[in-house]
Amino acid sequence: MDELIDMRALLEGMDIFNVSLWLSGLLLLLVLIGVRVAFAAAFIGMLGLCLYFMERQGFERGLLTAVRLAGQVPHSKSTGYALSLIPTFILIGYLAYYAGLTKALFEAAKRWVGWLPGGLGVATVFATAGFAAVSGASVATSAVFARIAIPEMLKLNYDKAFAAGVVAAGGTLASLIPPSAILVIYAIIVEESVGKLLLAGFIPGFVSAIIYAGLVIGMAKVRPNLGPPVTGFTWKERFESLPGALPIAFVIFIIIFSIYYRGEDGAWATPTEAGALGAFVVLVMALWKGMKWGQLRSALMEAAKLTAMIFAMIWGVLIYVRFLGYAQLPDHFATFISGLDYSPYLILLAILLVYVVLGMFMDAIGMLILTLPVTFPAIIALNGGPDVTREMSAFGMTSEECAIWFGIIVVKMAELCLITPPIGLNCFVVAGVAQDSKLPISVQDVFRGATPFFGADVATVAVLIAFPGIVLWLPSLV
């Protein structure tokens, strides 16, 4: 009884804001020592809610309220219509791989740009960009092209680290080029238009691909031993390769047209319906090309596994986010950021540098859904608030434009997480696929080959910050 009285006295004197800071630090520590983001966030969020309500309602009643809320929040948020877009976009990518569409895409790219220095590397970059436009998962893109592109490059005596690094970096393009699962997650967290964010990712995604290709060409010119060009293809052979790549282009057209075509009654389809339609079209193509039941089952299982992982993280983080809302940590941070007497661009740079550090220890999706509840309100406040006009804002854009612009930049930063040690998920995937294929490539080789692409990503982010119109032009047309 005395212990219960002491606990109540302790809770009554507790500052929930300071507690939220300590618990957020504990959450980062748990993630860094290897606890899964979903479980760490759910545990910290649940603990925070318990402390918050027990301080206000007493021990037993507060505990019951916290438990009920922790159970209701994930269910109410995850049953939203927008989240159903994620599994359909992921499924498109796996079905396209098992249908053999990726190999035809790589062959077409090889015949058209293989003559350049490091030609197969350039072909890999453009092929991954094309496949990213039908796949919502970076990991899936890297795994697919590790099986297709790396053996081709090694046959032509490409440097093994260079070959693996190109594939790992090229796979990150799926994070930015729609249909992108991570862009959908960002849109849901910040409550912005999914359609506009997906549209905003197209031009930055292909700008990033061009910068990657330029880097590959430059490296191959300076060090020709990295990768020789591929010559000998006639114009006839090049044009003969195009029909094999047309199904990918057709699926891209279907998705874009479905979302952005405006009839008399509005949009022809929602993003979710467009994703389902795209998956159906790819499935028909796969069956027409002779997909076996085992391949279809593998595609469905892989899509289900990745979807379950993403949803589990969202569920856990939603509990943590609800606690942050009660503790008002995002509001305090936004007020602090907007009150700093520094250039808004300098503060933005500092926030992006934090993402660079976090990306070394966390996966991309986990990092975003943990940090956005705090960083996004801060960026909006820094821009001038939710109702600011373009003329009065710090970045020269409305709050909606700022949300879209920051979303593309922060997703591009999240791509760095996929190729930076020690977590770099794409690098581990490429190494795992290579070792399964009996290729002499280690994880260290992949990280070494992917390192130059870190500089390319920094250059892309700098371009997007300097020229926000690259991001905002397409969404402005909707």
pLDDT digits (tens, 9 = 90+) for 362-393: 777 778 888 888 899 999 998 888 888 787 88
Q: SS in 3 state form for 167-212?
A: HHHHHHHHHCCCCCHHHHHHHHHHCCCHHHHHHHCHHHHHHHHHHH
250: confidence class by pLDDT, cuts 50, 70, 90: confident
Percent of the chain whose pLDDT exceeds 70: 94
Three-state SS at 262 = strand
The structure tokens listed for 370 are 């943990």
Largest CA distance in the chain: 88
| Short-list 206, 190, 211, CA closest to 401 | 190
| Short-list 378, 402, 405, CA closest to 392 | 402
Whole-angstrom Cα distance, residue 375 to residue 190?
Answer: 10
12: confidence class by pLDDT, cuts 50, 70, 90: low
Q: What is the pTM of this model?
A: 0.84
Axis-axis angle for helices 364-383, 181-190 (nearest 10): 40
Residue 201 main-chain phi, psi, to 5 deg? -80, -15
pLDDT(59) > 80:
no
pLDDT(78) > 70:
no
Place of tokens 């696929």: 433
Percent of the chain whose pLDDT exceeds 90: 26
The pLDDT score that the predictor gives to residue 417 is: 79
| Short-list 28, 138, 90, CA closest to 418 | 138
The pLDDT score that the predictor gives to residue 80 is: 66
What is the residue-averaged pLDDT of the chain?
A: 84
5: confidence class by pLDDT, cuts 50, 70, 90: very low
Whole-angstrom Cα distance, residue 253 to residue 109?
Answer: 19
Residue 452 half-sphere exposure toward CB, CA atoms < 13 A: 20
Axis-axis angle for helices 101-113, 85-98 (nearest 10): 70
3: confidence class by pLDDT, cuts 50, 70, 90: very low
* CA-to-CA dists, residue 205 to 50, 147, 367, 460, angstroms: 43, 23, 20, 9
Whole-angstrom Cα distance, residue 421 to residue 15?
Answer: 37
Whole-angstrom Cα distance, residue 127 to residue 50?
Answer: 50
| Short-list 368, 374, 371, 401, CA closest to 386 | 401
User: DSSP state, 34?
Assistant: T
Query: Do 231 and 114 contact (CB within 8 A), yes or no?
Result: yes
